[in-house]
């Protein structure tokens, strides 16, 4: 199969398959809306990592520009939290410029993507990682001083979390909190595995799309409901997605589905103006989504919170049973 064919095939499937995803779930948020009678649930889109390789036979330049087109079609600006290591070469620079030039904000996601809950990744490493990537992205016109923790892990002890927070303050960075966490990365991984195993023409792309959209709407409704109980209002949410194939293929339909379900969609930089992002949880509750850690800190949701908050283990059986 040539390079052109896989993408043409996917586009045909997406255009003609899977038409009626949106009307299947009750909309929890709009019920609350009527009770309050003011604003609506509001969401913005953030993306993590930034990879520069071809995926499942689709050229990097092609799938990257598909994500950018989805955002442009909706006139939306995202915040893109990038790792630094693979952004030094030409492809990496092209990736950064492609997002920056479209008006998206570029933010810091470390140099090598370490897990700071691991003991071997200490505060000195944190500082080095922050500064290395800062020196790469600070050249860009739409750079913002927001930092996102890999795996949303901020350190496993109070002392470490406190020291890391001090490094952020010393460098004038703020935590680029996620409020809606999800497992798009896992659906993406399974989709790629399937395409690589059986070929695109034998992959039920529309079924993956349906699962993906339902999963993300479900997680958004979950965090919105939890957030409403804590904050007594609709906050500006920041959804975590990844720079990957599922974003390239499904983001446009996902945005449309959020709109259909009554969500207001705003630019991510604007979303971070919400004062909820000043509510830093105590160090011992740091990590996961901001809403999850505030819920944990309140002590009122012990029966319902799961740890980790989001993980492949929660989606695995459902995907298995659907043959995905």
Which residues, in sequence order, are bridge partners of residue 143?
106
Count of alpha carbons within 13 angstroms of residue 174, beta-carbon side = 15
Burial of 12 by CB count in 10 Å (0-12 exposed, 13-18 middle, 19+ buried)? exposed
Smaller CB distance to Zn ion: residue 51 or 205? 51
What is the rounded distance in angstroms from the CA atom of residue 17 to the CA atom of residue 46?
Answer: 27
Distance in Å, CB of 110 to Zn ion, minimum: 8
DSSP 144: E
| Tally of CB atoms within 10 A around 221 | 19
CA angle 310–244–261, rounded 5-degree value:
60
The span of 36-44, 148-156, 162-170, 296-304 binding Zn ion (CB under 5 A) equals 148-156
Smaller CB distance to Zn ion: residue 81 or 228? 81
The verdict on 310 binding Zn ion (CB under 5 A) reads no
Q: How many residues bind Zn ion (CB under 5 A)?
A: 3
The verdict on 48 binding Zn ion (CB under 5 A) reads yes
Smaller CB distance to Zn ion: residue 41 or 92? 92
* Residues composing the chain: 324
Distance in Å, CB of 49 to Zn ion, minimum: 5
Work out whether the CA dihedral 272, 278, 284, 285 comes out positive or negative. Answer: negative
The verdict on 32 binding Zn ion (CB under 5 A) reads no
Smaller CB distance to Zn ion: residue 6 or 155? 155
Contact residue for Zn ion among 27, 33, 49, 206 (CB under 5 A): 49
The span of 85-93, 132-140, 150-158, 231-239 binding Zn ion (CB under 5 A) equals 150-158
Smaller CB distance to Zn ion: residue 114 or 281? 114
Smaller CB distance to Zn ion: residue 150 or 155? 150
Closest CA to 140 of 93, 184, 203: 93
Residues that bind Zn ion (CB under 5 A): 48-49, 150
């Amino acid at each position: 199969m040539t390079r052109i064919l896989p993408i043409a095939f996917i586009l045909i499937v997406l255009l003609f398959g899977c038409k009626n995803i949106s009307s299947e779930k009750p909309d929890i948020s709009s019920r609350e809306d009527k009770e309050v009678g003011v604003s609506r649930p509001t969401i913005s889109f953030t993306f993590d990592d930034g990879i520069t390789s071809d995926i499942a036979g689709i050229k990097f330049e092609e799938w990257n520009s598909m994500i950018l087109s989805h955002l442009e079609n909706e006139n939306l600006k995202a915040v893109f939290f990038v790792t630094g290591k693979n952004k030094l070469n030409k492809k990496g620079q092209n990736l950064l410029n492609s997002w920056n030039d479209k008006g998206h904000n570029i933010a810091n996601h470390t140099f090598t993507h370490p897990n700071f809950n691991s003991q071997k990744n200490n505060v000195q490493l944190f500082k080095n990682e922050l500064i290395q990537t800062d020196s790469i992205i600070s050249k860009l016109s739409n750079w913002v001083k927001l930092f996102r923790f890999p795996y949303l892990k901020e350190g496993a002890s109070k002392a470490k979390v406190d020291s890391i927070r001090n490094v952020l303050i010393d460098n004038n960075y703020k935590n680029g909190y996620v409020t809606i966490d999800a497992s798009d990365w896992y659906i993406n991984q399974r989709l790629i595995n399937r395409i690589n195993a059986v070929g695109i023409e034998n992959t039920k792309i529309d079924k993956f799309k349906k699962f993906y959209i339902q999963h993300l709407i479900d997680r958004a409704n979950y965090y919105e409901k939890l957030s409403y109980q804590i904050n007594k209002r609709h906050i500006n949410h920041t959804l975590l997605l990844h720079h990957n194939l599922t974003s390239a293929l499904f983001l446009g339909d996902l945005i449309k589905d959020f709109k259909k379900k009554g969500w207001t969609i705003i630019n991510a930089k604007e979303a971070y103006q919400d004062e909820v992002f000043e509510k830093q949880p105590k160090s011992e509750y740091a990590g996961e989504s901001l809403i999850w850690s505030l819920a944990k800190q309140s002590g009122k949701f012990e029966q319902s919170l799961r740890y980790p908050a989001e993980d492949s283990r929660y989606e695995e059986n459902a995907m298995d049973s659907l043959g995905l």
